Structure 1
Amino acid sequence: MSHSDSLALPVIDFALLTGDEQQRKEAVEKLGKAAREVGFFYLINHGVVQALSESVQNVARTFFSLPQEEKLKVKMENSPHFRGYNLAGVEITRSQPDYREQFDIGAEREAVVNSPESPTWLRMQGPNQWPQALPELQTVLTGWQQDMTQVALELLRGFAEALELPRNAFDNLYGDYPNEHIKLIRYPGRQESESSQGVGAHKDSGFLTLLLQDDQPGLQVEVTPDNWVAASPLPGSFVVNIGELLELASNGYLRATIHRVVSPKADKERLSVAFFLGAQLDAVVPVYPLPDSLARLAIGPTSDPLNPLLREVGWNYLKGRLRSHPEVARRFYPEHSNSE
């Protein structure tokens, strides 16, 4: 880890979080500091087997190299649950197209039979679209999802301890039907004359994001206004960042940080795989009371913590998806497609 000193983001050793009492205490302190000051960090010694992460990257590359017609059989436009494949330029961030080809999956569940009284966000629950031409995609990603969930939950409990809350304070928000989400992302190379927006500047909406990067740079983090630093690839690590729900829950003590991806040069491509841990769609995120020593450091979230739309998980998540995927909004959520 000698080159970790030159990294722009903190490094958290996950093994210490599950170590002896003194190790845990120091790791939790470091975790809280990283999450408050930067909102982004590298996670090392996380226990997810390197061979599994490599399998995920390999199967993702194989998927993206399938013939276009095979990928379009599972295009997201067919799914009211926002699952499936998008061509580069289809997803929108800050009103501009993102130049990344991607495939989204969520927790594999039955679609809910909706009644007129059902909240709109309930329609997001449902089955994934899996490409018939690549059956191992489902097997590999399902195994990875299970391992990533365990890491993310342990981190969430570490954050609860950093906030001096009971260790399992967030468990009931996560619940039995968590809103997990995996995104396979391929950033094609772009010419100097073209837009370099791999993905525009944004915050993530859920609890936590864990990102598996390849060896190509591109991810940038806005640590202070207009000061962007590179989250350079660190082999064997995940890049972890805080989502809006944790920022809201901690009244801004934990920080959801704006980030973006700059497209690789024309002769390169970049592959990343993101795991998002969300709360149950029917949860409402409270603002947790923090001890005075921490509350004084809480800067208040940059979004309004009293806005019920933001704190209601289902609406929070749906709002982001409708804005990012106008073609799904028009087809399956016409009553909302003109609201942005």
Structure 2
Amino acid sequence: MQQTALPVLDLRDLHAGGEQKQAFLSELAEAARTVGFFYVKGHQLCCLQDEVMSLGKQFFALPDAEKLSVEMKNSAHFRGYTRLQGELTQGKPDLREQFDIMGEDQAVKVADNEPQWWKLIGPNQWPQALPEMKQTLLGYQQALSDVSTALLRAFAEVLEQPATTFDEGITPPYTHMKLIRYPGSAATGERQGVGAHKDPGYLTIVTQDQQSGLEVLKDDEGWVSVPPLEGAVVINIGELLELASDGYLRATYHRVQSPAADQVRYSCAFFMAAKLDSEVPLLNLPEHLKKDALGPSADPQNPLFYQVGDNVLKGRLRSHPDVAQAHYHGFDRAC
């Protein structure tokens, strides 16, 4: 197996039960406490991964007019294509282009006095040139949801809670997936493929091609590379799981550095949160865990909200000011 700086967990151990499951839970707890990032192999995603990554390459190779026909700015639900440097992280443009989908839903009519995060619910945009994208991407999103649900139940057990602790809040979950293309950048040029950030949901799963660039911030080592590992996906903890565990589990800063000028990086990122109209449960941890719960991280530039819709919408508005200006009046300057 390739050498990595992060733990590698095998999902088959979780499903095996008995001593194998207990070993998996111990490894999961250690990974969550030390870095908040780890690899997972032994999943059932392989049959779809190649097809999804191939579709991503085909989409980004389309003429600009085709891609802009499904531009995210057209969607109050933050679905569709974002052109190169069209998304911001910490106020700076990311050197990437992407295509975002979420659940395939009917739009909700939202009154002025109702929470604006209800606007996040709605249909996706699909390019006419690639009709196969809808079935394939929605299928992969569901498969990633199944893996995330299994891991979230495992995290509940790590926290010595009933395995079903999070089930009500994720029935169904709020999911978000994006295909991403990072073009090469000269060594002297801008290297921010995506700037340092934490993810707003419960868990994130990243599918990578063969090009490295993902990095995680470790307390004792600084920025550490998270290279592609054959047969494995990368998992990281989001802010909602940090909130639920009162900081016992920590969301971790991560970023993507642009590849060299003659290289291109493709990836697929999936994010699971609870239902938008729910609140993050604040778990009553046993005393031996509670003493290591540091409380949620305090960042005045990134306030955390227990109301899930508020937390998710906060991230969307900050990242896509063009959508905020077009569809969320009053939020374009505040965020």
Q: Which bin holds the TM-score, normalised by the shorter protein?
A: over 0.9
Partner residue of 1:303 out of 298, 307, 327: 298
Misfit runs of 4+, over 3 Å: none
CA–CA distance in structure 2, aligned partners of residues 252 and 33 of structure 1? 14
Letter in 1 for 2:101: I
Taking the TM superposition and a 5 Å limit, the aligned residue runs for 1:277-292 are 277-292=272-287
Q: Which moved more, 1:254-263 or 1:221-230?
A: 221-230
User: With structure 2 as the length reference, what TM-score do the two structures score?
Assistant: 0.97
Letter in 1 for 2:314: K
Task: Report how many residues are paired.
Answer: 333
Contact 2:239 2:304 in 1 (8 A): no
Partner residue of 1:204 out of 199, 205, 209: 199
Unaligned runs of 5+ in 1: none
The equivalent residue for 1:35 is: 32
Partner residue of 2:71 out of 59, 72, 75: 75
Letter in 1 for 2:44: G
Contact 2:52 2:137 in 1 (8 A): yes
> 1:98 and 1:226, CA in 2 relative to 1: closer, same or farther beyond 3 A?
farther
Letter in 2 for 1:11: V
The equivalent residue for 2:127 is: 131
Letter in 2 for 1:199: V
The equivalent residue for 1:66 is: 62
Question: Post-superposition shift, 1:226?
Answer: 7.2
The equivalent residue for 1:275 is: 270
Taking the TM superposition and a 5 Å limit, the aligned residue runs for 1:177-326 are 178-224=173-219, 227-303=222-298, 310-326=305-321
Letter in 1 for 2:39: Y
The equivalent residue for 2:94 is: 98
Quick check: 1:327 aligned with 2:322?
yes
Letter in 2 for 1:285: V
CA–CA distance in structure 1, aligned partners of residues 304 and 206 of structure 2? 27
Question: Post-superposition shift, 1:315?
Answer: 0.6
Q: Residues 31-64 of structure 1, C-alpha deviation per residue, up to 9 Å, x if partnerless?
A: 111111110000011122x231100000111111
Question: Post-superposition shift, 1:210?
Answer: 0.4
Instruction: Describe the SS at the equivalent of 1:180.
Output: strand
CA–CA distance in structure 1, aligned partners of residues 292 and 304 of structure 2? 25
> % of aligned pairs identical?
50
Q: Residues 85-106 of structure 1, C-alpha deviation per residue, up to 9 Å, x if partnerless?
A: 0111010001110000100000
The equivalent residue for 1:152 is: 148
Question: Post-superposition shift, 1:148?
Answer: 1.0
Quick check: 1:19 aligned with 2:29?
no
Instruction: Describe the SS at the equivalent of 1:18.
Output: helix
Unaligned runs of 5+ in 2: none
Contact 2:177 2:270 in 1 (8 A): yes
User: With structure 1 as the length reference, what TM-score do the two structures score?
Assistant: 0.95
Letter in 1 for 2:29: G
Partner residue of 2:138 out of 142, 145, 149: 142
Q: Which moved more, 1:152-161 or 1:188-197?
A: 188-197
Contact 2:216 2:224 in 1 (8 A): yes
Q: Residues 216-274 of structure 1, C-alpha deviation per residue, up to 9 Å, x if partnerless?
A: 11000001177010001101111000000000100111110000000000000000001
Question: Post-superposition shift, 1:116?
Answer: 2.8
Q: Residues 183-220 of structure 1, C-alpha deviation per residue, up to 9 Å, x if partnerless?
A: 10000001123210000000000000000001111000
Instruction: Describe the SS at the equivalent of 2:66.
Output: helix
Letter in 1 for 2:180: I
Alpha-carbon RMSD across the aligned residues, in angstroms, is: 1.4
CA–CA distance in structure 1, aligned partners of residues 254 and 55 of structure 2? 26
